[in-house]
Amino acid sequence: MPLLRPTALTAFVLLSGCASTPCDDPLSDACRDAQLLQQNDMLQARLLVASGELDQHQLASALLTRAAEQDRRGEAAFYQAILKVREGPQVDDVLKLLEQSAEHHHPYAVAMLYKIYSEPYLVEEADPVRAETYRAAYAELDVAKSGYPSLTQALQVVDGLLSVPVQ
């Protein structure tokens, strides 16, 4: 019985390391493989979303769902929100995904939430207080402090993703 406990403990430590570390340890080949596959899924999904082709949405959605399992930056949720907007505004779902992404400090999600409440976009009325909250949140992001992308630049990216011609 004592041999079983250390083995179980070792397995737990190795598996929890996969979920919480960047896989810098040479013993974590499986973890590194999972990370590479997640990066590949995100790259393919971003390309499919940026293409704007409706017939690619199902594949993009599947890739984003799989990538979301290991996404620590909120990127998958942001692109899922873009797909939902294109499929026909599912406002509650879009807002939930954007909030989830913004909680991970994803700059484009914060910018899109600012856009939603300042214009208004997808919602019936502008909400200047919420818009200001997201503008201020963007200003606190590391990317904003470094100067790139600025909120204006992030909004241009968001607008570009939202205005891709749907075929």
Indicate the SS3 state at residue 113.
helix
**Domain extent listing, the chain:** 29-162
Indicate the SS3 state at residue 43.
helix
Q: Say what the pTM is.
A: 0.80
Domain 29-162 has CATH 2.60.40: no
Q: What's the pLDDT tens digit per position in 60-116? A: 999 999 999 999 999 999 999 999 999 987 999 999 999 999 999 999 999 999 999
> How far apart (Å, rounded) are the C-alpha atoms in residues 158 and 97?
15
Q: What's the pLDDT tens digit per position in 28-76? A: 788 888 889 999 999 999 999 998 888 999 999 999 999 999 999 999 9
Residues near 33 by beta carbon (within 8 Å), at least 6 away in sequence: none
